[in-house]
Structure 1
Amino acid sequence: MASSASNATTTASPQLPGVVDESVAKKVALAALVGTALEWYDFFLFTTAAALVFNAQYFVSQDPFVSAMSSFATLAVGFVARPIGGFIFGALGDKVGRKKILMVTIVGIGLVTGLIGLLPNYMTIGVAAPILLVALRILQGLAVGGEWSGAVIIAVENAPVAKRARYAALPQ
């Protein structure tokens, strides 16, 4: 019976009510806010590139409308991948630890964004270019979903009980 009680204690929230260090909670919340803002900045850089570059460089077509719509479809792929990333990385965060998974997602989105920037265009590698672009966009969406959900959870877990909703809103 004693082992099950100690087991329940180790799986509980890292902060007990009334024992929260507010200065630590503020630092964690600020880090979650900054990290999420940087991740979304990377993610939305893709939006600008989809409008200005990808239609001409990766989705070559005689019809400019088809090229533009193909380019913008890559935006949708990233957004569809977000909740899947939240599920995947949320489960991993529960098993491995949120800080480790948060670092994986932060590094992951930076790496994927860099690879998108280095990706050869359609004229260089043909149909592999848009296929790789879509694959990288899926990975980028998964990482953003994992980072965002992880940032919210870690902010809430470290927040004072009475202020958890406020701390949860910061990464938003």
Structure 2
Amino acid sequence: MTEPVSVDRKGLAKAFAASLTGTALEWYDFAVYSAAAALVFPLVFFPDSDPLTGTLLAFSTYAVGYVARPVGGFVFGRLGDVIGRKQLLVITLLLIGVTTFAIGLIPGYDSIGIAAPIILVTMRFCQGVAVGGEWGGAVLLSSEYGDPRKRGFWSSAAQIGPPAGNLLANGALAVLTLTLTDQQFESWGWRVAFLFSAVLVGFGLWIRLKLEDTPVFKALQESGERSEAPISEVFKTELRPLVAGIMSRVAPDVIYALFTVFSITYGTQKLGFERSEVLTAILIGSAC
């Protein structure tokens, strides 16, 4: 195995910042979709359904993103070994930015009929693929720049991103619900949060384009020790830890969805809280 090449603290700090801000921006897009699925998508994209069916259909489009994430991990994980970590993360950031911006422009069911939810699901799938590639790539970016003995610490940059993204997404939606009427929010206000992602993605690209590729990837290129079939190799030689890793993530991800998505619907429809109150509660939780 090729030994990592040491880098200066400045390069390490840049990689840490790029990993953290990138995943935060990616999860902003992911989280703003989650909240919108609970708040407005049943009304905008499934208006002919009864309220319960509309909510379930909206949550189904939310679930598509999770189905797509392993696809993104497989595709972009392999691509990152070929073109490099930096280029990979630029691609994933652009992909999720374009799809999130596009969701903000999709006409409702009343305008284009069944095509509206079909486009929504397609964009959500692409968004999930991008997030699946983003998180793994961000972990590699920060860990491969860091001291091998402290890779767990440097890899944590990517894991700080999701709650930071939740903070941004729910903060934006909370501000919109506080400043707009219910009719304005349901008609066009929710779209502002999606369109705002273009600004955040531009900021993320500015940071990532300044980076060089990781020392580990450069060393692998020079040595030519890159695996030709890494996916099949993992299944053949590391199946048990792979399954253990997958199973260890099931409960945390279920709890995450309950806290950040289901609680919005339950709080507004069953407990009678205002949208802004529930979003503010999630905002405080994400900050903590």
TM-score bracket for the superposition, by shorter chain length: 0.7 to 0.9
Structure 1 counterpart of 2:70:
83
Provide the C-alpha distance between the structure 1 equivalents of 2:94 and 2:42, rounded to a whole number of angstroms.
Answer: 27
Tell me, yes or no, if structure 1 residue 165 matches structure 2 residue 163: no
Provide the C-alpha distance between the structure 2 equivalents of 1:62 and 1:125, rounded to a whole number of angstroms.
Answer: 16
List gaps (5 residues or longer) in structure 1: 1-7
Tell me, yes or no, if structure 1 residue 122 matches structure 2 residue 90: no
Tell me, yes or no, if structure 1 residue 73 matches structure 2 residue 63: no
Provide the C-alpha distance between the structure 1 equivalents of 2:39 and 2:151, rounded to a whole number of angstroms.
Answer: 41
List gaps (5 residues or longer) in structure 2: 160-288
Provide the C-alpha distance between the structure 2 equivalents of 1:23 and 1:99, rounded to a whole number of angstroms.
Answer: 17
Provide the C-alpha distance between the structure 2 equivalents of 1:135 and 1:160, rounded to a whole number of angstroms.
Answer: 40
Name which of 22, 25, 32 aligns with 2:9. Answer: 22
Tell me, yes or no, if structure 1 residue 140 matches structure 2 residue 143: no
Name which of 45, 51, 66 aligns with 1:64. Answer: 51
Structure 1 counterpart of 2:96:
109
Is the CA contact (8 Å cut-off) linking 1:106 and 1:147 kept in structure 2?
yes
CA shift for structure 1 position 153: 0.8
Structure 2 counterpart of 1:3:
none
Could you say if the C-alpha distance between residues 77 and 62 of structure 1 is closer, same or farther in structure 2, counting changes exceeding 3 Å?
closer
Matches within 5 A, 1:28-47: 28-47=15-34
Is the CA contact (8 Å cut-off) linking 1:22 and 1:160 kept in structure 2?
no
Provide the C-alpha distance between the structure 2 equivalents of 1:127 and 1:20, rounded to a whole number of angstroms.
Answer: 53
Is the CA contact (8 Å cut-off) linking 1:36 and 1:171 kept in structure 2?
yes
Provide the C-alpha distance between the structure 1 equivalents of 2:100 and 2:85, rounded to a whole number of angstroms.
Answer: 22
CA shift for structure 1 position 60: 2.4
Letter in 1 for 2:46: F
| More displaced stretch, 55-64 vs 40-49 | 55-64
Provide the C-alpha distance between the structure 2 equivalents of 1:133 and 1:85, rounded to a whole number of angstroms.
Answer: 18
Aligned length: 159
Per chain length, whose mean CA-contact separation is higher, i.e. which structure has more relative contact order (CA < 8 Å, sep 6+)? Answer: 1
Q: Please state whether the residue corresponding to 2:104 is helix, strand or coil.
A: helix
Provide the C-alpha distance between the structure 2 equivalents of 1:22 and 1:62, rounded to a whole number of angstroms.
Answer: 56
| 1:43-65 superposed Cα distances (whole Å, 9 cap, x missing partner) | 10001111111101111234110
| 1:109-132 superposed Cα distances (whole Å, 9 cap, x missing partner) | 111000000001111111111011
Is the CA contact (8 Å cut-off) linking 1:25 and 1:160 kept in structure 2?
no
Provide the C-alpha distance between the structure 2 equivalents of 1:167 and 1:84, rounded to a whole number of angstroms.
Answer: 25
Structure 2 counterpart of 1:4:
none
Structure 1 consecutive aligned stretches of length 4 or more whose deviation exceeds 4 Å: none
Letter in 2 for 1:49: A
Letter in 1 for 2:45: Y
